Structure 1
Amino acid sequence: MDVQAWVKQVIRQEEIDKYLVKGKDFIDEKKIRTNLEQQAHPDPQRVRDILQKSLSIKLLTPEETAVLLNVTDPALLEEMREAALEVKKRVYDNRIVFFAPLYCSNLCVNRCVYCGFRSDNPEEKRHILSPEEIYRETEAIIDEGHKRLIAVYGEHPKSDADYIADSISTIYAVKRTTPSGNGFNNIRRVNINAAPMAVEDLRKLWRAGIGTFQVFQETYHPGRYAELHPANTIKGNFRWRLYAMHRAMDAGIDDVAIGALFGLYDWKFEVMGLVEHAHDLERQFGIGPHTISFPRMQPAPGSFLSENSPYLVNDDAFKRLVMVLRLAVPYTGLIVTARERAELRREIINYGCTQTDASSKIGIGAYAGKKLQEENADKVQFMLGDQRSLDEVIKELADDGYITSFCTAGYRCGRTGDKIMNLLEKGVEGKFCKLNAVLTFREYLNDYASAATKEAGERLIQRELQEIENTSFFTDKKLLPTFFNYYRRIAAGERDLYM
């Protein structure tokens, strides 16, 4: 099948229509505008009442979200930041989960004006990784110490569901002896960032063992979306993308991830769109998004808009939007990536983020080739702001009191979808995650950490062990004997023990 024939058969209108309500989707531009305008001057007591609701780990309404988006008083913003961090601690404790992105292909049939991968960009050199190249890339990622990975694909017939499913299997098959010689390390969870698909294709990914399926709407404003995505492309269909997560849920993938590319349109509108998205997933499936991402647009090779959009988000607005997302959807993970400068990423962690990446390379084949983005600029989608190693970022976080986690236990124990959402809302999942974070951190310190990182990590892990011993939940549930048995066994050389 040639490319044009493939493009014509991708979108299934019936797989859009089934989720509409009276022919309408869940993005009501007028309603979003009205909410933002009506809450333009929020009452401080109303704000504080909303913060209390968020602290009880309840999804905020769009109206409540609009109230928080309009807060400008510095003292009240600081109360919001403190509440956001407290929400994060109640649900996720002091963990930061790490992953690495693996770009498998930059072939794309779309022409998004802000993207380096767009099909009409003559500056982009095209390549799709072979199974052997994916294997080598995965080896290089594992050798940094990673255990979680998100694989990224352009939209093209050569990187269709079958290719993605095969790449998932290839990644899971890679095992590497650790530098310490204590057993092996491998990727324990493969998440996917790919184009929207039909339910039958998403089932192929589910059978292949996909972790979380991630699709960013880019912008939730239908008019702006149409300006940026030509109508005669697959991505030009706003609703096909809008309901990508719904189809994933129907296909059996119960962990889904949403996001917007901030800088394409007004940031307050995009936050409202993300919250409306979370509400519609809960309404139709009883499960909200597993994670929310909020990447800011960065310079992309061959894209004028990427550096000249009228909606570029400054640092102050960025902090506010992250804070509001944490409060509005308190149970979800929030991902801040290496797109951001190192110093800002360190700060934004304190606004309630739970996941980040490091040692990231976004050139096609850049890990095995050990290429910096400047050496691979003709094969990247955008430019990174932070190219530090995993070890450097882990040490910084340890110095700040955050424990690095590579935990994948919840997924492998079946704590996914509605099960994990219920546990997150009750603060239970975070307790198990704390134990597993310590176990995976012990692995990293033994196998990969530099002397400086190990010194910082040992101080932190001793504090964590003392806290675990003194937490009634762990004693009441009789979890301590098993946990300390696993901890001693990992310290002695065993790997991949989890609770």
Structure 2
Amino acid sequence: MYNVPADFINETKVWETLEQNKNPEPAQLKEVLAKAAEMKGLNLADVAVLTSISDPEMLGELFNTANTVKETIYGKRLVLFVPLYISNLCANECLYCAFRATNKEIDRHALSQEHIARETEVLINQGHKRVLLVAGESYPKKGFDYVLESIRSVYSVKNEHGEIRRVNINVAPLAVDEFKQLKAEGIGTYQIFQETYHRETYQKVHVGGKKRDYNWRVWALHRAMEAGIDDVGIGVLFGLFDYRFEIMAMMQHIFELEDKFGVGPHTISVPRMEPATNSDMASHPPFPVSDIDFRKIVAILRLAVPYTGIIMSTRETAKMRRDTFALGVSQISAGSKTNPGGYEEANEISGQFSLGDHRPLDEVIRDVASMGYIPSFCTACYRMGRTGQDFMDLAKPGDIRLHCAPNGLSSFKEYLQNYASSETREIGDQLIRETIAGMSGIAKQRAEKLVNRVEAGRDDVYC
């Protein structure tokens, strides 16, 4: 099944739908935005209509609707995580990536398990609780077992500052039995990007290695979900092809997962191409995405799949990241390094791509809190089994906020109490007081109870 063409990505239908909806009347635009405000998702034609918006007034309405939907579902909560690159070995030849196999301008390195443990300890001491484990698509002698051992190494590190409570994974596509092994290690989300859904472009930019197989990659999430991993993440590398096509094709992928497994992706990542060592393509994207179109992408995805998390990485500048919080972003990385071993000490090993936001975790948290957003390190849903369909069953009627809001506040309080600078602690404590004062009912009772427990010296409290 998983080596056949993925006919659920129907390029002809994408182009036809875009053509049919390229010049919508203002009334049609408003109708789609009104539908989006109901938070029940959008179909392919609706998404095509929104991609056509260019009028500043209608862009404002798009952004305002996205903000309303985001805050209705997520409130002011922003989940934080950090990528942990364990290796830049790679057998693929992706023209936009510094890790590509033939690139002689970077040093290659795969961290030992001892080094992974030391990197993990640095992240724990900074206050991180969520890690995204990332590796190039080739491993040392142990092969895939290297990834499994690396997960164990991260989870094994515990000190007076705590531990990493959830490891998410971004590694090469796997077979079903390998995905089952991954699940057995207690991972959170399995994440993989198709990079581009446009088949011709895909072949042009992936010129060597197993990644050339479009079908093997696009079926990866089917295999993961068949193996029992019900939290999966998808994404597109914007800049490789027309962003309108990419959004539409990604929606087809989402609809396919919903149809086959009853639930779509847990997260969508929206990386935009950034310069990478010895890659002319990375510095000169074939289809560059302007800042305004990038904001449009985030807003459209928030309206199209309202209950799916949208991830913004440190590829983007601090300003762009701030701008997208109100448009739909619900998860951000902070204090990131994209080179193996980059956290323990500065090294000369090249990163996968250039970063736009180099600020340390504490500075990011202070900035986020100053804007009125609650930085959350919560991992409760993974640990309480609220994943996949169970998560959506709570999210769609709004019940998940009875857990997310209190848990976000308690995990933020834990950070402030154990890791934050005095300036960040002052801003954060005030925000927590103001946020709880504005809550009501069960959510307020839970938040007060959990925050009080943290203040009394308890860590890792959640509901």
Same fold (TM over 0.5): yes
Say if 2:331 is the partner of 1:358: no
Q: By how many angstroms is 1:243 displaced?
A: 1.1
Partner amino acid for 2:69? V
2:429 maps to 1:458: yes
CA distance in 1 between partners of 2:26 and 2:403 (Å)? 36
Q: 2:439 matched to 1:487?
A: no
Determine the structure 2 residue equivalent to 1:172. 155
Worse-superposed segment, 139-148 or 482-491: 482-491
Residue 221, structure 1, aligned to residue 198, structure 2: yes
Structure 1 residues 365-384: aligned runs within 5 Å: 365-369=341-345, 371=346, 376=348, 378-384=349-355
Q: 2:20 aligns with which of 38, 52, 67?
A: 38
Q: CA RMSD in A?
A: 1.4
Q: Does 1:138 align with 2:120?
A: yes
Aligned to 1:125: 107
Matching residue within 44, 60, 72 for 1:90 = 72
Contact 1:161 1:204 in 2 (8 A): no
Q: Does 1:271 align with 2:247?
A: yes
Whole-Å separation in 2 of the counterparts to 1:285 and 1:168? 26
2:86 equivalent to 1:115: no
1:328 pairs with 2:304? yes
Tell me which stretches of 4 or more aligned residues in structure 1 moved more than 6 Å. none
Residue 374 of structure 2 aligns with which residue? 403
SS of residue in 2 equivalent to 1:324? helix
TM-superposed CA distance for 1:421, in Å, is: 1.3
Amino acid at match of 1:110: N
Cα pair 2:406 2:443 within 8 Å, conserved: no
- Whole-Å Cα distance in 2 between the matches of residues 412 and 56 of structure 1? 30
Contact 1:229 1:236 in 2 (8 A): yes
Contact 1:161–1:205 under 8 Å retained in 2: no
Q: After superposition, give the CA deviation of every residue in 1:405-435 in whole Å (9 maximum; x if it has no partner).
A: 0011111111000010121122111231000
State whether structure 2 residue 175 is matched by structure 1 residue 198.
Answer: yes
Letter in 2 for 1:455: E
1:361-416 CA-partner distances (Å, limit 9, x unpaired): 111101011x2xxx53x421111011101111111111111010001111111100
Partner of 2:462: 498
Match of 1:414 in 2: 385
Q: What letter is aligned with 1:133? A: H
Number of residue pairs aligned between Structure 1 and Structure 2: 462
Amino acid at match of 1:415: R
Deviates more, 1:271-280 or 1:252-261: 271-280
**Contact conserved, 2:129 with 2:164, CA < 8 A, in 1?**
yes
| 1:40 CA displacement | 0.8
1:348 maps to a residue whose letter is: T
1:58 lines up with 2:27 in the alignment: no
Equivalent position SS for 1:289:
coil
Helix, strand or coil at the partner of 1:151: strand
Contact preservation (8 Å) 1:161, 1:202: no
How many Å separate the matches in 2 of 1:431 and 1:118? Answer: 45
Normalised TM-score (structure 2): 0.97
**1:250 and 2:226 equivalent?**
yes
Call closer, same or farther: CA 1:92–1:288 in 2, change over 3 Å: same
Q: 1:296 aligns with which of 272, 289, 300?
A: 272
Helix, strand or coil at the partner of 1:388: coil
Q: Tell me the equivalent position of 2:287.
A: 311
Shift of the alpha carbon at 1:493? 1.1
Asked if 1 retains the 8 angstrom alpha-carbon contact of 2:6 and 2:218, the reply is: no
Secondary structure in structure 2 of the residue aligned to 1:16: coil
CA contact (8 A) 2:362 2:420 kept: yes
AA aligned to 2:228 is G
User: Which residue of the partner structure matches residue 189 of structure 2?
Assistant: 212
Amino acid at match of 1:307: S
| Aligned residue in 2 for 1:20 | none
Q: Matches of 1:256 and 1:64 in 2, distance apart? A: 24
Contact 1:331 1:421 in 2 (8 A): yes
CA distance in 1, matches of 2:412, 2:335: 17
Measured after TM superposition, the shift of residue 342 of structure 1 is 1.1
Q: Tell me, what secondary structure is at the counterpart of 2:332?
A: strand
Relative to structure 1, the CA distance from residue 160 to residue 322 in structure 2 (aligned partners, 3 Å threshold; closer, same or farther) is: farther
Q: How far apart, in 2, do the equivalents of 1:55 and 1:491 lie?
A: 38
Q: CA deviation at 1:55?
A: 2.3
Name the % identity.
Answer: 45
CA drift at 1:473: 4.9
**Cα distance in 2 for residues equivalent to 1:61 and 1:122:** 45
AA partner of residue 218 (structure 1): E
Residues 173 and 192, structure 2, Cα contact 8 Å, conserved in 1? yes
Query: What is the aligned partner in structure 1 of residue 256 from structure 2?
Result: 280
Residues 204 and 418 (structure 1 numbering): CA distance in 2 closer, same or farther, change over 3 Å? same
What is the DSSP-based 3-state SS (H/G/I as helix, E as strand, rest coil) of the residue aligned with 1:334? strand
CA distance in 2, matches of 1:41, 1:240: 36
- The aligned counterpart of 1:15 is 2
- Ranges in structure 1 where 5+ consecutive residues have no aligned partner: 1-13, 18-22, 179-184
* Distance apart, 1:157 and its partner CA: 4.2
Please give the alpha-carbon distance, in whole angstroms, between the structure 2 residues aligned to 1:177 and 1:157.
32
- Quote how far apart the aligned CAs of 1:487 are: 2.1
**Tell me, what secondary structure is at the counterpart of 1:362?**
coil
TM-score (ref. length: structure 1): 0.90
CA distance in 1, matches of 2:144, 2:255: 28
Query: Structure 1 residues 270-279 or 201-210, which shifts more?
Result: 270-279
Structure 1 stretch displaced more, 489-498 or 46-55: 46-55
CA distance in structure 2 between the partners assigned to 1:488 and 1:24 by the alignment: 52
d(CA) in 2 for partners of 1:474 and 1:437? 11
3-state SS of 1:99 partner: strand
Looking at structure 1, the residues matched to 274 and 416 of structure 2 have their Cα atoms a distance apart, in angstroms, of 33
Q: Per the alignment, do residues 452 and 211 of structure 1 end up closer, same or farther by CA in structure 2, a change over 3 Å counting? A: same
Q: Deviations over 1:436-490 (max 9, x none)?
A: 001001101101111111111111100111123xx23547xxxx2x543332221
| Stretch moving more, 421-430 or 452-461 | 421-430
Residue deviations 1:192-219 (CA, integer Å, cap 9, x gap):
0111110010111000011100000000
Determine helix, strand or coil for the equivalent of 1:143.
Answer: helix
